[in-house]
Amino acid sequence: MKAIIWTNYGPPEVLKLQEIEKPTPEDNQILVKVHATTVTAGDCEMRSLKFPPYLAIPMRLYVGVVRPTRVKIIGQEFSGEVVEVGAEVTKYKVGDRIFGNVGFGFGTYAEYVCLAETPGEMGGMYGSMPADLSYQEAAAVPTGGLEALHFLREANLQPGQRLLINGAGGSIGTFGVQLARLAGAHITAVDSGPKLAMLRELGADEVIDYTKEDFTQRGQQYDAIFDVIGKAPLKGAMHSLTETGVYLLANPNLRKLMWGRWVSGRSGKRFFAQTNSLRREDLLQLKEWIEAGELKVVVDRSYSLAEAAEAHRYVETGQKQGNVIIKI
């Protein structure tokens, strides 16, 4: 089978298209023919290992100290078709259309991937695809949708409350805008100018071009601030919260973690940066909303498997609107 092999830590060029042996499922596994996967900012950070030291060191120990050895194929999101099942598998059958996130097992930049019937220690979550959703759209749901749901659940938004989403134009943010709209919140979306029209179409009440204006200097207060990209000035963001507001940080560094918790411990404001533990019921909830027409998937552009490095280069420009897909 064809797969993108991760040959080293570094720029997109370390991703090489190669022919490798097709995997064979064990008794408790299914073999999935992958139809689509995605390129997220997290995939790019993983490829280059551009993490804060407290994350980069354990990741390097897990993947390979000098170069990737334990994990040779990256990619976490997928959609595809079950083409073979192990002798002990009861939840899936050949022909099932499924989608999900494979967790730290990785491996979706390939024509086939073997998955445990029930995700284990490597994490992940998958299930049957939403009806009438294309493979390309379905592949883009799990990470962005589950992350947005995880953080906004903590905000417990009520109708009319004010939410600001910083970095609203990417995979997590576009789902976040729509989920907040379902909750009846007043939404302010922050991103670059070319993305603002799309964000209004998704339901944002106000939009801010961060290249022209710092939202923390507006004097506006919010019941919740969802900082998807982790680049908002933390002191200004905390000052922009109401006295009982919550700051949701999806991409923390150690300094922000420590400072945010220090501030929240001395006021009624809350700071939340807890890692998402993927839940099957959340994936099913996203599926229901999609089938009901209440959530849509924003796809910016698609690439072939052979163009994976080019797709990574595009994502790293920060220009993508919603999701970038790799068709397999």
Q: Do 2-141+297-327 and 145-272 have matching folds?
A: no
**What pLDDT, on a 0 to 100 scale, did the predictor assign at position 235?**
84
Question: How many Å apart are CA 113 and CA 268, to the nearest integer?
Answer: 47
**What pLDDT, on a 0 to 100 scale, did the predictor assign at position 266?**
66
**What pLDDT, on a 0 to 100 scale, did the predictor assign at position 267?**
74
Strands (E), 193-328: 206-209, 222-227, 241-249, 270-272, 299-304, 323-327
**What pLDDT, on a 0 to 100 scale, did the predictor assign at position 123?**
76
Question: How many Å apart are CA 319 and CA 323, to the nearest integer?
Answer: 11
Q: If you ran DSSP here, which 8-state letter would residue 55 be given?
A: H
| 145-272 maps to CATH 3.40.50.2300 | no
**For the chain, which ranges sit under pLDDT 50?**
none
Q: Are 6 and 295 in contact (CB under 8 A)?
A: no
Measured in whole angstroms, the distance separating CA 299 from the mean position of its chain's CA atoms is: 13
Q: What is the pLDDT of residues 160-194, one digit of tens each?
A: 999 999 999 999 999 999 999 999 999 999 999 99
Q: Are 251 and 230 in contact (CB under 8 A)?
A: yes
**What pLDDT, on a 0 to 100 scale, did the predictor assign at position 253?**
65
What are the residue ranges spanned by the domains of the chain? 2-141+297-327, 145-272
**What pLDDT, on a 0 to 100 scale, did the predictor assign at position 230?**
85
**What pLDDT, on a 0 to 100 scale, did the predictor assign at position 145?**
97
**What pLDDT, on a 0 to 100 scale, did the predictor assign at position 251?**
79
Share of the chain above pLDDT 70, in %: 95
Domain 2-141+297-327 adopts which CATH fold? Quinone Oxidoreductase; Chain A, domain 1 (3.90.180)
Q: What is the pLDDT of residues 224-275, one digit of tens each?
A: 999 998 888 888 888 999 999 999 999 766 666 676 676 666 677 888 888 8
Q: Are 263 and 269 in contact (CB under 8 A)?
A: yes
pTM of the model: 0.93
**What pLDDT, on a 0 to 100 scale, did the predictor assign at position 276?**
79
